[in-house]
Amino acid sequence: MRRLLALGSVTLGVCLLFQSAVSAGPTTGPAVQPVPPPAASTALEREAEALVLRWAPSFVQEVDSEHPERDRPLPIDFDGDWNASNNWRNLSADYATTKPAAYGSAILTRTHAYLTYTLFYPRDWAWPACFSYVCHDNDLEVLQLVVERGAHAGDGELVLVETKAHRRYVSRAASELKRTASGAPWIEVESGGHGMEPMALAREPAEGTTIFAPRDTDRAETYELLPLHATLWSRRAALASERTLWTAGESGFLAYSGERLGRVGFLLGASMAGQEYAGGVRPPWALKAPHGARGDWFFDPALVAMARHGSFMKRHAEPSLEYVFNPYLADLAAECAGAACPPAPPPAADFGPLQAAGGALLLLGLVSSFRPRSRSA
């Protein structure tokens, strides 16, 4: 553990050195952007906002009967600050009735919209005991909708939904999904670890679940839909919140270098800070899909979707790879591109899987020594 902490400290120092060197003055050299996002028009911004609301999913949340606050998606600053290291201890039973929240974002090509929704929980937890990488401070759960754009934001057609469930990606075509009256998908969320999966067509919400919906319905509790771009993304820098939001984690900060886009932007926070239990909680832009470089699933979703689901997507319309609205790439390109960007820091050693395996074995031994208890979830 000491070696891990020392290595993390070295990585953090290198990252911050690069960050401060770039921030000290204007960048020089050519700004090469292979796929430049055009300047966003007001009309495209309005369309993006309307699409995020139009297709916002309903969540079927499995809830623990004794600690419902642990399975309630909340704003990341639910406790009044952006200090991720105190979220575990600041979560109390009082938050069981706080209005739930979800974060939404939209990236548009000429033919499709890629809509990302993120849920945050102050704790990823397990019963009867917690260890790092079995439990961890903070929890970000992410899903992405692919929607064929129509003439208006209210038009269009849902193509597929993909969720990040722990270490795997789960995809379902629109025809296989259980959907709301408006056509938006239902998403199942487990208790404790909060893994999400698209709800299959024949499934129904089970007992012990709570439904969170983006708008008023008879069956659901309404959640607040927050803009990812103006909240967590605006605090993406490694120095955000005086180093209390991000940590070097298992793999250091992210120097995004896309498979198609190349090196773009300053170093990004890629692992949320914590104090009780380590776990490497990643924001949407730091995820690594089965195809593409780390970050491509979020920054260059058209490329990843075509590589993973291209034959299916072409049944609807020939997908475009040209972005007409991508505020995240635009922000990165405004910072630096290509040779003007600081070099990527050396990766930190990843001890996460080993610690997770050890913790899981220890937890299994403890579970076997306890008698099962009745739980609603």
In tens, the pLDDT along 107-116 reads 999 999 999 9
Please give the angle made by the CA atoms of 87, 93 and 94, to the nearest 5 degrees: 90
Tokens representing 315 are 């049944």
Q: What is the pTM of this model?
A: 0.83
The domain spans of the chain are: 2-367
Which residues fall within 8 angstroms of residue 64, CB to CB, at 6 or more apart? 70, 71, 127, 191, 192, 375, 376, 377
Residues 240, 1, 348, 6, Cα dihedral to 10°: 70
CA distance 104 to 327: 13
Strand pairing partners for 194? none
Provide φ and ψ at 308, rounded to 5°.
Answer: -95, -35
Q: What is the DSSP letter of 305?
A: H
Strand pairing partners for 349? none
Residue 131: closest CA among 369, 352, 356: 356
pLDDT digit string, tens, across residues 324-375: 999 999 999 999 999 999 887 776 555 555 555 555 544 444 444 443 333 3
Given the structure tokens 């399975």, which residue do they identify? 71
Query: Other C-beta atoms within 10 Å of 93: how many?
Result: 11
CA distance 39 to 60: 37
pLDDT digit string, tens, across residues 248-282: 876 789 999 999 999 999 999 999 999 998 887 99
CA distance 269 to 327: 17
| Residues counted in the chain | 377
pLDDT bracket for residue 43 (50, 70, 90):
very high
